[in-house]
Amino acid sequence: MQSQTIQRKILRTICPDEKGLIAQITSICFSHHLNIVQNNEYVDHRSGRFFMRTELEGLFDDERLLADLDRVLPSGTQRELNQAGRRRIVVLVTKEAHCLGDLLMKSAYGGLDVDIAAVIGNHDTLRILVERFDIPFHLVSHEGFSREEHDARMAEQIDRYSPDYVVLAKYMRVLTPTFVRHYPNQLINIHHSFLPAFIGAKPYHQAYERGVKIIGATAHYVNDDLDEGPIISQDVINVDHTYTAEDMMRAGRDVEKNVLSRALYRVLAQRVFVYGNRTIIL
């Protein structure tokens, strides 16, 4: 055995759908004397894919458990077994404080099961806020550097902390493909719009010009297409003709921080499966 203490781990499985998958997976877990604390599954009939999240408790021999699963699961299966519980993140910021402040409070007082290892900004504006929580703040200025050079410097600083995820809490720079590839399905962004509407810069001004009656926010994984990564969480609020673009921006800040927090909660609990450009949340 890898450990003689009771552990809790999460088994995540994506595979071609066929009969008996739940029975096969749970039987293997039973044969390893593991207790199933919670189990959730979903079949996407369009893609013919089966998704399952199994929360397990017991004494684990990870290598043997995964090998036994590989014996019974169909070809093309993706599976992973990770420790349940607290995760480690690095937060990227520019100048806006509302999303960062919410994450700092929830990390400090138990609203999110997360350690914020560091905050990195391309401006120094939020340093005082971060240091009040005894968290390191690093300034990595973009002045005088190309996008590629700046992203390389950012990645160097991030990698010092070996985070599970990198959270863009109103980090207002477009990331290079090299940077995105370096963190596959680890970059989580909050966009101040109900995507796919109003991508890119100044979405509230775009919304005002269109006379919209709802505004919203979208938390999503980052990919190489601007604001088009797999969506994790969204929400909206009602507005009317009396709202200026600035009014919408103020009202939208609460939506943004709530959507980001809700998305991060799901990701940290390992409930979000990425498949293609979609997410399945179990």
- Please identify which of the residues 115, 159, 227, 240 carries the catalytic annotation: 227
Q: Which residues of 84-107 are buried (b: 16+ CB within 10 A; e: fewer)?
A: beebebbbbbbebbbbbbbbbebb
Q: What is the Cα–Cα distance from 268 to 116, expressed in whole angstroms?
A: 12
- Is 190 within 8 Å of 218 (Cβ atoms)? yes
Q: Which amino acid, 15?
A: C
**Per-residue DSSP letters for 241-275?**
TT--HHHHHHHHHHHHHHHHHHHHHHHHTT-EEEE
Q: Which long-range contacts (CB under 8 A, 24 or more apart) does 274-280 make?
A: 274/185, 274/221, 274/230, 275/14, 275/44, 275/47, 275/49, 275/51, 276/47, 276/230, 277/223, 277/228, 277/229, 277/230, 278/230, 278/231, 279/221, 279/230, 279/231, 279/232, 280/42, 280/44, 280/51
**Tokens coding 243:** 């709202």
Is residue 227 among the annotated active site residues? yes
Beta bridge partners of 81: 11
Q: Coil, strand, or helix at residue 213?
A: coil
Q: What is the Cα–Cα distance from 12 to 261, expressed in whole angstroms?
A: 22
CA distances 276 to 14, 52, 104, 130, 223, Å, are 12, 17, 31, 35, 11
Catalytic sites, residue numbers: 227
